[in-house]
Amino acid sequence: MDKVRVEAIETQAVIGVYEFEHLAPQPLILDLELTTDFSRAFISDDLYDALDYDAITQQVRVFCETSRYQLLETLAGGIITLLMDHYPVDKIAVTIRKPNALSGALATIWCERTRAQMTGERPLP
């Protein structure tokens, strides 16, 4: 399988479990890894047969900036669902860093799901 990685996407979101975190958007830094098959793109040299990582990045930014979640994990699940719904990917990994969450440390979560896991399909034997 082939992969597209988009790293260090800067965005913001109103996110957190504490009341003060709901007052204003907080900075987030995201990494995406999307697994797919680029065999058609190898031959066609057409963006339609690949993943448009600029469009993906813009969609993820808009999603984050308009979201209202308590947990980074829920935001990651929303991003995975969004991308699975719009792109022919088999697996997605999302890393989200929340730079202002902790004093003297960096809060980071990493989530990875396959299309089968997200749709409840059972893998073929």
* Domain parsing of the chain, residue ranges: 2-119
In the sheet where 26-36 sits, what is the strand order?
A: 68-69, 2-15, 26-36, 91-98, 107-114
**CATH number for the segment(s) 2-119:** 3.30.1130.10
Count other Cβ atoms within 10 Å, centred on residue 32. Answer: 23
pTM of the complete model: 0.93
pLDDT (tens place) for every residue of the chain, 125 residues total: 899 999 999 999 999 999 999 999 999 999 999 999 999 999 999 999 999 999 999 999 999 999 999 999 999 999 999 999 999 999 999 999 999 999 999 999 999 999 999 988 665 55
- Alpha-carbon Rg for the chain in angstroms: 16
